[in-house]
């Protein structure tokens, strides 16, 4: 099915003007812990017949609960107007007759980082309440979260399991946020964890900086060793604008969204599979697997070591 571009303007950081960047800087100096209202978390539904999107609630929605439901969750200082939201939404709808629900938690995300990080549990609980109130079967749900959004997905998964006794089908963590969460690596209840869904696949691209270092999923994919700089993300001070300079500083962290977009569009990760972190450290990973996005299941576990190109298309086909 061919879909038109979603009629939503992109709002990547590089597109912001100076005054908008200044306002963003002012917002991120604000500390607001625990003050998250229902209005701070909105849900927009897209389907193959509802391309323009429609804001919904648990009480008023057009969600067909018998279809697979994809839930997309952004990270810090972001919103649902980011270009990767549009790209992933379009591809999900092109590949399957499903529901795509874009989560927007922009107001709590535009705050001091530690404030936004602490509030991820509250955001996750609100997403879980939406899913359970809407009566979407957990086995039909696949959540995709970037950075703080990955941990939000984890908290939502935990809460859905507490309420229903059933785990959601899959969580994909796109370079889950490291700061604040790395120190909680041994406290599974305080971050995304492999037990939060039947399958938790994690793409690492900026480990040790903006992303977590250690494996936290059923399958952890370390792309180009999982660290910065990712190919094509060399530190560059020749940006054309302040916004572009700021966005470049997140290049490796954001590259996880680009890799995932290509992955669900037919790209392949050629993995050297490691049984565990210890095997990865000693480079004892003899088995090679070609992994497509739809291949991921409960039987594919461990650590995948893979590489990409430095220019688009990043993934090999």
Annotated active-site positions, please?
Answer: 147, 175, 253
> What whole-number distance in Å separates Cα of residue 236 and Cα of residue 245?
8
Cα–Cα distance measured from residue 88 to residue 313, given in angstroms and rounded to the nearest whole number: 15
Cβ proximity of 251 and 233 under 8 Å: yes
Report in angstroms the alpha-carbon separations of 60 from 36, 87, 88, 245: 21, 26, 25, 41
Q: Where are the alpha helices (DSSP H) in the chain?
A: 18-27, 83-95, 106-109, 113-118, 120-134, 148-164, 242-249, 251-263, 277-281
Number of C-beta neighbours around residue 88 at 10 A:
23
Could you give the CA distance from residue 242 to residue 251 in angstroms, rounded to a whole number? 14
Distance between CA 68 and CA 115 in Å, rounded? Answer: 33
User: Backbone phi, then psi, for 46, in 5-degree steps?
Assistant: -125, 140
Q: How many residues does the chain have?
A: 317
Which residue reads 């669900």 in tokens?
A: 264
Nearest to 213 by CA among 183, 187, 188, 189: 183
């Amino acid at each position: 099915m061919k879909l038109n571009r979603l009629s939503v303007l992109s709002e990547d950081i590089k597109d912001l003007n100076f005054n908008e960047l200044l306002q963003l800087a002012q917002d991120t100096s604000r500390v607001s812990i625990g003050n998250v209202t229902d209005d701070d978390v909105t849900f927009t539904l897209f389907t193959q017949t509802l391309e323009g999107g429609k804001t919904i609630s648990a009480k008023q929605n057009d969600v067909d609960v018998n279809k697979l439901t994809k839930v997309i969750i952004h990270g810090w200082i972001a919103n649902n107007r980011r270009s990767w939201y549009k790209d992933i939404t379009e591809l999900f709808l092109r590949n399957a007759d499903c529901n795509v629900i874009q989560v927007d938690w922009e107001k709590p995300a535009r705050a001091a980082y530690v404030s936004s990080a602490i509030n991820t549990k509250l955001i996750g609980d609100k997403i879980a309440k939406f899913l359970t109130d809407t009566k979407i079967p957990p086995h039909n749900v696949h959540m995709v979260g970037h950075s703080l959004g990955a941990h939000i997905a984890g908290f939502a998964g935990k809460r859905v399991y507490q309420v229903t006794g059933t785990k959601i089908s899959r969580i994909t963590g796109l370079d889950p946020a490291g700061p604040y969460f790395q120190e909680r690596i041994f406290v599974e209840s305080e971050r995304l964890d492999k037990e939060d869904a039947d399958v938790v696949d994690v793409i690492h691209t900026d480990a040790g900086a903006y992303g977590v270092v250690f494996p936290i999923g059923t399958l952890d994919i370390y792309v180009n060793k999982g660290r910065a700089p990712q190919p094509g993300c060399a530190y560059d001070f020749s940006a054309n604008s302040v916004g572009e300079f700021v966005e470049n500083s997140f290049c490796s962290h954001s590259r996880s969204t680009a890799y995932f977009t290509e992955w669900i569009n037919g790209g392949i990760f050629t993995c050297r599979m490691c049984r565990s972190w210890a095997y990865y450290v000693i480079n004892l990973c003899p088995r090679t697997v070609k992994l497509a996005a739809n291949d991921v299941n409960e039987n594919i576990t461990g650590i995948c070591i893979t590489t990409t190109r430095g220019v688009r298309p990043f993934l090999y086909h």
